[in-house]
Amino acid sequence: MAVAVASGILRLIPSTRAVECGLPVPRCCSLRCSLFAAPIPSKIRYHSDAAITAPRAASPKTVEDGNSNETDTVPTPKVIIDQDSDPDATIVEITFGDRLGSLLDTMKSLKNLGLNVVKANVYLDSSGKHNKFAITRASTGRKVDDPELLEAIRLTIINNMLEYHPESSSQLAMGAAFGVEPPGQEVDVDIATHIDVYDDGPDRSLLVVETADYAGLLVDLVKIITDIDIAVQSGEFDTEGLLAKAKFHISYKGKPIIKPLQLVIFSNVLSNSLRYFLRRPTTEEASF
């Protein structure tokens, strides 16, 4: 699968054959799911079990206004999509040690998805330089509430990181297939996958999922959860190197998830579904 962003179109192209279509709103995007309710304005070629292709930078000159010292230890890239901290905007935070610049090309790519960057700031701490954006949909002026568009945002950011900082490919799951250097080790799905449910007030629970990253993970998670009648209210999705961590505020018929349901639904259904998606083999054209 490949990704290309141009003229407001994000294309995810499966390796078997690319069929361009406007995706319908998936079953997960029902009225139960207030966070994910609107269709994507762009056309998408998408399949959840594929990786992304990023143009490979030929030299450090292509670095997006940042530093690229290949002699240093490569830091762990982090992309955070936060739906909780701002009621009016989706907050995106990107960190890659101290190597990121102003990310003007990344902001342009986000605008090509039909988004407005309404605020941007940078801060430093011991983990590096953090670029933080507040983004809204250009068509409505509201925060992004569709899971496929949120995943498109995440893949676009990773795509740009692979293009302008090719050294990041060894630290990203997407780099295994399309980076200049694949990760040094493969993530063990059984070891990496953790699912926990916590109390989160009188009306909801907090679901925390940590697992190996892959393109389409956010959409798959929301679909699995909402297909079993669990409502997703808001959340945060973090990509940290080869792993992804999702936090969802969830409820069942307006109430927290009781312990027996937690065991049956999340320990079995969600865990087994994730293992299926992560271990599903890809089909090459030569096999036909």
147, 165, 184: which is the final residue of a domain?
184
In a domain, 113, yes or no: yes
Residues 259 and 271 in one domain: yes
CB 76 within 8 A of CB 171: yes
CA-CA distances (angstroms) from residue 131 to 119, 207, 268? 11, 27, 37
Flag whether pLDDT at 21 surpasses 70.
Answer: no
Residues 205 and 244 in one domain: yes
Residues 177 and 105 in one domain: yes
- Identify the domain containing residue 207 by its residue range: 187-279
Residues 192 and 116 in one domain: no
Interaxial angle between packed helices 147-164 and 217-227, expressed in degrees from 0 to 180 and rounded to the nearest 10: 160
Residues 173 and 87 in one domain: yes
Q: What is the DSSP letter of 8?
A: T
CATH of the domain at 228: 3.30.70.260
Provide the CA 272 distance to its chain's centre, in angstroms. 20
Q: Which one is predicted more confidently, 95 or 260?
A: 95
Rounded Cα–Cα distance for residues 2 and 10 (Å): 10
Residues 92 and 113 in one domain: yes
pLDDT interval class at 281 (50, 70, 90):
low
Flag whether pLDDT at 9 surpasses 50.
Answer: no
In a domain, 86, yes or no: yes
Residues 232 and 212 in one domain: yes
Flag whether pLDDT at 56 surpasses 60.
Answer: no
In a domain, 82, yes or no: yes
Q: What is the pLDDT of residue 40?
A: 33
Flag whether pLDDT at 12 surpasses 60.
Answer: no
Number of Cβ within 10 Å of residue 171's Cβ equals 22
In a domain, 177, yes or no: yes
In a domain, 49, yes or no: no
Rounded Cα–Cα distance for residues 99 and 68 (Å): 6
In a domain, 239, yes or no: yes
Residues 180 and 201 in one domain: no
139, 165, 184: which is the final residue of a domain?
184
Residues 266 and 200 in one domain: yes
Q: What is the pLDDT of residue 19?
A: 31
CB 107 within 8 A of CB 117: yes
Q: What is the DSSP letter of 49?
A: T
In a domain, 13, yes or no: no
Q: Mean pLDDT over residues 273-283, rounded?
A: 72
Residues 196 and 235 in one domain: yes
Number of domains in the chain: 2
Q: What angle do CA 18, 23, 25 make, to 5 degrees?
A: 155
Residue whose token pair is 């937690």: 262
CB 104 within 8 A of CB 65: yes
CATH of the domain at 94: 3.30.70
Record the tokens describing residue 54, joined without a space: 């990023």
Chain segment 187-246, per-residue pLDDT in tens: 888 888 999 999 999 999 999 999 999 999 999 999 999 998 999 988 999 999 999 999
Provide the pairing of β-strand 115-125 with 128-137: antiparallel
Question: Phi/psi class of residue 125: alpha, beta or left (left: φ > 0; alpha: ψ in -120 to 50)?
Answer: beta
Provide the CA 243 distance to its chain's centre, in angstroms. 11
158, 184, 210: which is the final residue of a domain?
184
Record the tokens describing residue 205, joined without a space: 């629970």
Least confident range from 98-107, 109-118, 127-136, 278-287: namely: 278-287
Q: Mean pLDDT over residues 25-32, rounded?
A: 35
Q: What is the pLDDT of residue 283?
A: 43
Residues 89 and 139 in one domain: yes
* Mean model confidence pLDDT for the chain: 77
Residues 246 and 155 in one domain: no
